[in-house]
């Protein structure tokens, strides 16, 4: 069979030559770089189509959902009411310190005022204090 060092048997050579002769270029379609770029740009444009319309439709909903002006007004009203009640309670304390009062009547007035005063400030009101325990 004529095997020398580094030589292949004749049947291997014949077999590989037949394969080379029968070899054809790949029949699978392929894409050029330009076709890939074009397909990419087409896909991006399709994805972005209508983007401006969607954003324009979203803005009013976003503004409505994130509008806290009514909450700010409520917080301001609550803050003003808390200040009035606190002022009335301070006036009562000063009055108690300077005038002899009926203790039962005084306790009742103070409890009425302190029941109107919230024990914790409304969220977002910016008011950090609460009614001191010594005033309860």
Judgement on whether residues 99 and 125 belong to the same structural domain of the protein: yes
pTM of the predicted model as reported, rounded to 2 decimal places: 0.39
Mean pLDDT of 119-132: 54
Judgement on whether residues 35 and 61 belong to the same structural domain of the protein: yes
The pLDDT value recorded for residue 136 is 46
Six token digits for residue 87: 């002022």
Q: What digits encode the pLDDT tens for the residues 67-116?
A: 899 889 999 999 998 898 888 888 888 887 887 777 888 788 878 877 77
The pLDDT value recorded for residue 86 is 87
Contacts of 94 (CB under 8 A, 6+ apart): none
Q: What is the DSSP string of 66-85?
A: T--HHHHHHHHHHHHHHHHH
Q: Is 117 exposed, middle or buried (0-12, 13-18, 19+ CB in 10 A)?
A: middle
Mean pLDDT of 37-47: 90
Show the domain range for 46: 31-67
The pLDDT value recorded for residue 10 is 66
Judgement on whether residues 128 and 74 belong to the same structural domain of the protein: yes
Q: How many domains does the chain have?
A: 2
């Amino acid at each position: 069979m004529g095997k020398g060092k580094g030589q292949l048997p004749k049947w291997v050579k014949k077999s590989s030559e037949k394969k080379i002769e029968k070899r054809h270029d790949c029949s699978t379609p392929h894409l050029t770089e330009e076709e890939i770029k074009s397909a990419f740009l087409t896909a991006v444009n399709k994805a972005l189509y209508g983007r401006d319309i969607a954003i324009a439709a979203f803005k009013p909903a976003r503004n409505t959902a994130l509008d806290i002006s009514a909450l700010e007004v409520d917080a301001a009203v609550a803050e003003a009411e808390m200040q009035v009640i606190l002022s009335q309670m301070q006036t009562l304390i000063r009055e108690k310190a300077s005038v002899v009062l009926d203790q039962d009547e005084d306790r009742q007035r103070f409890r009425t005022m302190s029941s109107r005063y919230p024990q914790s400030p409304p969220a977002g009101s910016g008011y950090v204090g609460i009614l001191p325990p010594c005033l309860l």
